[in-house]
Amino acid sequence: MHQTMHSPCSLELADGRILTLFLYHYGAQWGKKGVGGPGRTLGITSAVIWSPDPRPAVSAR
């Protein structure tokens, strides 16, 4: 089984929050023969809605 995250995409929503989508490739063996059958790639997506920190950035010295 193999799962790889790639292609994060973000956009700002009307209320100022950020929507970020992450895409995954997930390869698993399945089919009529059960485990060990032909491989199939499934598309999986995760979504996160978040808000930026309103405090000003502080540089480390």
pTM of the model: 0.58
pLDDT tens, the chain, 61 aa long: 456 778 889 999 999 999 999 888 776 665 565 555 555 666 788 899 999 888 877 776 6
Where do the domains of the chain lie? 2-50
d(CA 46, CA 61): 36
pLDDT of amino acid 36: 57
The span from the CA of 40 to the CA of 26, in Å, is 8
The tens digit of pLDDT for each residue in 29-42 reads: 655 655 555 556 66
